[in-house]
């Protein structure tokens, strides 16, 4: 499937999820409520009550968002060689992103349905496991894109052919003017 | 040393402002044409552009609003920051190379020039120019108000300036901004960004180290203290909830590549190959700033809920109170200079693209040519935008905030919704058409304005900008498919092949 079609379908799925969420009755305090003792601070209190009714569309929405990002990133690669090489790399990033996203969800749901006591939580680099994944792993997977850009620059982004093509265009343009 | 805290902070801020004025004077000698004023003659090195991209993408929000948001809502806003790894990548994968090429071939000065070249449409140019101008006024007003309030808080703490007014502080801070932006244009802007970006990175690293040492148990103890008060606050979606934070993830992930003050900087590098240095430079700077944003906010939440400090009156006080309570005076001085740096680096970038909209883009769309004496006109336009924005800022503070709020609606979310489809997709997809571009811009303006004017809100704290961006991207693709294929200018077509 062409990247633009995948992008469109992913965005349409995202719109469907938005409608699903909009038409799901919002529990009281779904977006937090004022802290009982501290002004200008908010609390959430019952995570399970506000998360469970919409956990399915949330899961699909974020997966669609990540797929849309990967499809968009594939859009500039025109030649089959470049598209093939970059597709493999972007599929890796998409796969890892979805795995991280599922891991965040599963560990968070396990926390919500469990006893919710500190002793039951694994703290990794300063954060409980689901949050550590959100802070470090989402960022880390995204950094792979920078890595591919820098080290694949001459092969995928701006090749010798591109440079020659652009220089030829500049020469023609200067000749015309 | 503690008794010298105030003089050190004021001295640092004063030194920083004098440095900006000096850079403005130096850059004035290098600014000889409108091309120098708006795009620095496409002659900048990768480190300068990299730090300029990062520092102008992170306004005062990163140093004040960000820690305040974490203090108030826990980990919710982390998603805004981690997604920038995707956001910067989208910008560089999709548009950095093509924009730099079009800028050189067509000698473009602004983003609306690029849009006009791609779609061969003066209407698209004009609409993009108007969108940018409206967004710039709103952004500038908020940045000027932030600068004035921080300066007032600093000066009012000294006996000599105890009664200084907000108007005076607005005049002082805006004068410095106007001076270097008018004299040196974008050259002054990017070289002050270089200083500003460096200060922000140094300040960020030192603050993170300080924050991690407030509790003996480091960040784990911080998290545990927050957990004991409200477990959800330290869980991945914070108090805002999953839908709200994922709408931020979408908006900031796709939308970063649609910010005109960032895109414009992609026209300024000397060589296309420099992009492979600019992207990691920008990412590095942003990562450090994000660490500051998150760590300060969490530490302040932990010390307040752990009864180590009295509650803050407003969430935005999180960073200033952290600095006064826990930072060494020298670090506080650097960070306050960094705070002005963060605000000014965004403000000067907006001044520049706003001036381009007034003297170049809108006149070209309306009458087919830019204003005469473009460089002089650009300098006057810079002054006029600053004065109008200062007026809005003071009106918002003393009168009604509605006007600034309205213009603010044309800010981040509108830039993202209007520009991502037409530029980010449009420069990489030949099937995109003119009617689709115009539809996307109009819908992005209408949706964002409707939510602001009519006071609508979406359930589960979904961000209206997310909805606007999602709808405009879908409309852009569908309208393109539904309208006849168009011929693209030969040079643009060849660039889109590369």
Q: Kindly write down the DSSP assignment for every residue of A116-141, as one continuous string.
A: --GGGPPEETTEEHHHHIIIIIHHHH
Please indicate, yes or no, if residue B180 is contained in any of the structural domains: yes
Same domain, A169 and A90: yes
Does residue A151 sit within a domain?
yes
Is residue A111 a part of any domain in this protein? yes
Its domain, for residue A27, covers 1-60
Q: Do A8 and A35 fall within a single domain? A: yes
B87-91, B322-326, B468-472, range with the lowest pLDDT: B322-326
- Work out the pLDDT band at B281, boundaries 50, 70, 90: very high
Q: Using CA atoms, how far apart are residues B90 and A70, in angstroms rounded to an integer? A: 9
List C-alpha distances in Å: A104 to A101, A111, A125, B58, B462.
Answer: 5, 11, 16, 27, 20
Q: Looking at chain B, how many residues does it have?
A: 498
User: Does any domain span residue B442?
Assistant: no
Cβ proximity of A55 and A21 under 8 Å: no
Q: Percent of chain A at pLDDT above 70?
A: 99
User: Cα angle vertex B343, ends B349, B299, to 5°?
Assistant: 140
Answer whether residue B65 shows pLDDT above 60: yes
Residue B418 belongs to some domain of the structure: no
**Smallest Cβ distance to A39: which of B224, B279, B311?**
B311
- The pLDDT, as a whole number, for residue B288 is 85
Domain count, chain A: 2
Residues B210-245: tens digit of each pLDDT: 999 999 999 999 999 999 999 999 999 999 999 999
**CB–CB contact B222 A26 (8 Å):** no
Q: Is the pLDDT of residue B96 over 60?
A: yes
| Segment B192-207, tens digit of pLDDT | 888 878 888 888 899 9
Q: Is B488 helix (H, G, I), strand (E, B) or coil?
A: coil
Task: Reply yes or no on whether the pLDDT at B41 is more than 80.
Answer: no
Average of per-residue pLDDT across B431-460: 91
Q: Which of A15-24, B153-162, B307-316, B350-359 has the lowest mean pLDDT?
A: B153-162
User: Is B82–A40 a contact, with Cβ atoms under 8 angstroms apart?
Assistant: no
Q: Using CB atoms, pick whichever of A43, A54, A126 lies closest to residue B239.
A: A43
Q: For residue range A39-55, list pLDDT tens digits in order.
A: 989 999 788 889 999 99
Q: Identify the three-state secondary structure at position B422.
A: helix
ipTM here? 0.96
Residue B406 has pLDDT above 80, yes or no: no
Whole-angstrom distance, CA of residue B234 vs CA of residue A127: 8
What tokens does B28 get? 């004035």
Q: Is A26 a residue whose pLDDT tops 80?
A: yes
Which backbone phi and psi does B10 adopt, to 5 degrees? -65, -40
Q: How many domains does chain B have?
A: 1
> How much is the pLDDT for A79?
81
Q: Write down the pLDDT at residue B397.
A: 74
Q: What integer pLDDT is reported at residue B401 of this predicted model?
A: 53
In a domain, B425, yes or no: no
Strand partners of residue A123 = A128
Q: Show residues of chain A in contact with B94, CB under 8 Å.
A: 72-73, 75-76
Same-domain pairing of A95 and A174 = yes
Domain that includes residue B26, residue range: 2-404
Q: Are A73 and A145 in contact (CB under 8 A)?
A: yes
Q: Token pair of B368, please?
A: 């087919």
Return the closest-CA partner of residue B297 out of B325, B324, B316.
Answer: B316
Q: State the DSSP string of B83-147.
A: THHHHHHHHIIIIIHHHHHHHHHHT--SHHHHHHHHHT-HHHHHHHHHHHHHHHHHHHHHHHHHH
By the 8 A CB rule, do B265 and B52 touch? yes
Q: Does A164 contact B at CB distance below 8 Å?
A: no
Contact in structure between B142 and B163 (CB atoms under 8 Å): no
Neighbour-count burial of B484, counting CB atoms closer than 10 A to its CB (0-12 exposed, 13-18 middle, 19+ buried): exposed
Does the beta-carbon distance from B230 to A51 stay under 8 Å? no
- pLDDT of residue B408 exceeding 70, the answer is no
Is B97 a residue whose pLDDT tops 90? yes
Q: Rounded to an integer, what distance in angstroms lies between the CA atom of residue B64 and that of residue B296?
A: 10
Instruction: Tell me how far apart the alpha carbons of residues B341 and B466 are, in angstroms, rounded to a whole number.
Output: 29
Q: What does the block give as tokens for B425?
A: 């997709």
Tell me the nearest-neighbour CA distance from A76 into chain B, angstroms. Answer: 5
pLDDT tens digits for range A145-159: 999 999 999 999 999
Question: Within a domain: residue A68?
Answer: no
- If asked whether residues A9 and A82 sit together in one domain, one would say no
End-to-end Cα distance, chain B: 59
| CB proximity A81 to B under 8 Å | no
With a pLDDT cut of 70, the percent of chain B lying above it is: 97
Q: Which residue is closest to A138 within chain B, CA to CA?
A: B82
Q: What is residue A2's DSSP assignment?
A: -
Assigned domain for B491 exists:
no
Maximum CA pair distance of chain A? Answer: 75
Within-domain flag for B455: no
For B352-367, the DSSP string reads HHHHHIIIIIHHHHHH
Report whether pLDDT(B400) > 70: no
**CA B410/CA B392 separation, integer angstroms:** 15
Pair A53, A94 in one domain: no
Residue B372 C-alpha from the chain's centroid: 30
> What is the mean predicted confidence (pLDDT) over B172-196?
84
Distance (Å, whole) CA B131 – CA B439:
13
Rounded-to-10 torsion of CA A110, A115, A118, A124: -10
Instruction: Confirm whether A70 is domain-assigned.
Output: no
Res. B405: pLDDT tops 80: no
Shared domain for A161 and A107, answered yes or no, is: yes
Please report the pLDDT score of residue B419 as a whole number.
94
With tokens 């934070």, the residue in question is B245
On the question of pLDDT at B62 being above 90, the answer is no
Number of residues that this document lists for chain A: 177
pLDDT in tens, B333-364: 888 887 777 788 788 888 889 999 999 999 99
Nearest by CB to A170, which of B104, B305, B424? B104
The per-residue pLDDT of chain B, averaged, comes to 88
- Confidence (pLDDT) at B410: 56
Which of A27, A60, A93 is where one domain is finished?
A60
Q: Say if residue A53 is in the same domain as residue A95.
A: no
CATH number, domain with residue B388: 1.20.1730.10
Q: How far apart are CA B65 and CA B71, in angstroms?
A: 10
Predicted confidence at residue B238, as pLDDT, reads: 96
Residues of B in contact with A173 (CB under 8 A): 105, 491
pLDDT value at B404 more than 60: no
Element (H, E) at A33: strand A33-34
Q: Do A93 and A24 have their domain in common?
A: no
pLDDT digits (tens, 9 = 90+) for B111-128: 999 999 999 999 999 999
Q: Do the Cβ atoms of A4 and B477 come within 8 Å?
A: yes
Distances (CA, A) of B385 to B38, B182, B355: 15, 11, 7
Residue A18 sits in the same domain as residue A103: no
Residue A45 sits in the same domain as residue A1 = yes
Taking alpha carbons only, the member of A120, A124, A100 closest to residue A111 is A120
Q: What is the largest CA-CA distance in chain B?
A: 72
Confidence of residue B184 (pLDDT cuts 50, 70, 90): confident
Report the share of chain B in percent with pLDDT over 90. 48
- Asked, for residue A69, whether it belongs to a domain, the answer is no
Mean pLDDT of B142-166: 83
Q: The whole model's pTM is what?
A: 0.93
């Amino acid at each position: 499937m062409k990247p633009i079609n995948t992008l469109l379908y992913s965005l349409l799925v995202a719109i469907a999820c938005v409608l699903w969420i909009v038409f799901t009755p919002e529990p009281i305090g779904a977006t937090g409520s004022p802290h009982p003792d501290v002004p200008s601070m908010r609390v959430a209190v019952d995570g399970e009550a506000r998360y469970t009714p919409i956990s399915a569309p949330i899961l699909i929405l974020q997966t669609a968002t990540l797929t849309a990002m990967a499809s968009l990133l594939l859009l500039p690669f025109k030649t089959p060689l470049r598209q093939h090489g970059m597709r493999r790399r972007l599929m890796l990033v998409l796969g890892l992103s979805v795995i991280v996203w599922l891991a965040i969800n599963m560990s968070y749901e396990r926390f919500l349905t469990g006893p919710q006591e500190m002793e039951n939580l694994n703290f990794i680099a300063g954060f409980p496991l689901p949050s550590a994944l959100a802070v470090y792993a989402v960022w880390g997977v995204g950094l792979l894109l920078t890595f591919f850009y820098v080290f694949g620059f001459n092969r995928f982004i701006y090749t010798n052919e591109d440079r020659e093509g652009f220089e030829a265009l500049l020469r023609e343009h200067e000749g015309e003017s | 040393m503690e008794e010298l805290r105030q003089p050190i902070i004021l001295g640092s801020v004063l030194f920083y402002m004098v440095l900006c004025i000096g850079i403005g004077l130096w850059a004035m000698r290098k600014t000889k044409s409108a091309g120098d004023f708006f795009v620095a003659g496409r002659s900048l090195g990768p480190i300068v552009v990299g730090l300029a991209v990062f520092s102008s993408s992170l306004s005062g929000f990163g140093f004040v609003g960000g820690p305040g948001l974490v203090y108030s809502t826990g980990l919710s806003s982390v998603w805004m920051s981690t997604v920038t790894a995707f956001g910067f990548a989208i910008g560089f994968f999709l548009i950095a190379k093509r924009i730099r090429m079009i800028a050189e071939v067509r000698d473009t000065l602004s983003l609306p020039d690029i849009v006009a070249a791609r779609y061969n449409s003066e209407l698209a140019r004009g609409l993009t120019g108007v969108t940018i101008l409206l967004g710039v006024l709103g952004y500038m007003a908020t940045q000027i108000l932030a600068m004035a309030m921080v300066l007032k808080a600093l000066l009012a703490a000294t006996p000599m300036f105890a009664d200084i007014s907000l108007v005076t502080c607005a005049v002082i801070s805006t004068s410095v901004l106007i001076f270097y932006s008018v004299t040196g244009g974008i050259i002054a802007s990017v070289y002050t960004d270089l200083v500003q970006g460096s200060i922000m990175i140094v300040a960020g690293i030192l603050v993170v180290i300080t924050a991690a040492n407030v509790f003996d148990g480091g960040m784990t103890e911080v998290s545990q203290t927050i957990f004991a008060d409200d477990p959800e606050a330290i869980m991945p979606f914070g108090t805002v909830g999953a839908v709200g934070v994922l709408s931020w993830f979408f908006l900031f992930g796709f939308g970063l590549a649609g910010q005109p003050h960032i895109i414009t900087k992609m026209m300024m590098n000397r060589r296309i190959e420099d992009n492979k240095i600019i992207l990691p430079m920008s990412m590095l700077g942003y990562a450090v700033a994000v660490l500051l944003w998150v760590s300060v906010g969490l530490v302040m939440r932990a010390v307040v809920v752990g009864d180590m400090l009295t509650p803050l009156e407003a969430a935005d006080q999180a960073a200033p109170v952290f600095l006064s309570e826990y930072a060494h005076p020298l670090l506080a001085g650097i960070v306050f200079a960094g705070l002005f740096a963060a605000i000014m680096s965004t403000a000067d970038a907006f001044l520049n693209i706003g001036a381009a909209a007034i003297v170049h883009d809108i006149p070209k769309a309306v009458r087919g040519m830019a204003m005469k004496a473009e460089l002089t006109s650009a300098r006057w336009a810079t002054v006029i935008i600053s004065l109008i924005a200062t007026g809005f800022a003071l009106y918002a503070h003393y009168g009604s905030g509605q006007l600034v709020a309205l213009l603010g609606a044309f800010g981040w979310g509108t830039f993202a919704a209007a520009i991502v489809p037409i530029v980010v997709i449009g420069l990489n997809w030949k099937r995109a058409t003119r009617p689709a571009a115009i539809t996307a811009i109009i819908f992005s303006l209408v949706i964002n304005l409707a939510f602001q004017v009519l006071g609508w809100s979406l359930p589960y704290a979904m961000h209206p900008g997310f909805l606007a961006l999602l709808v405009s991207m879908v409309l852009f693709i569908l309208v393109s498919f539904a309208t006849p294929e168009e011929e693209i200018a030969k040079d643009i077509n060849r660039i889109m092949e590369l």
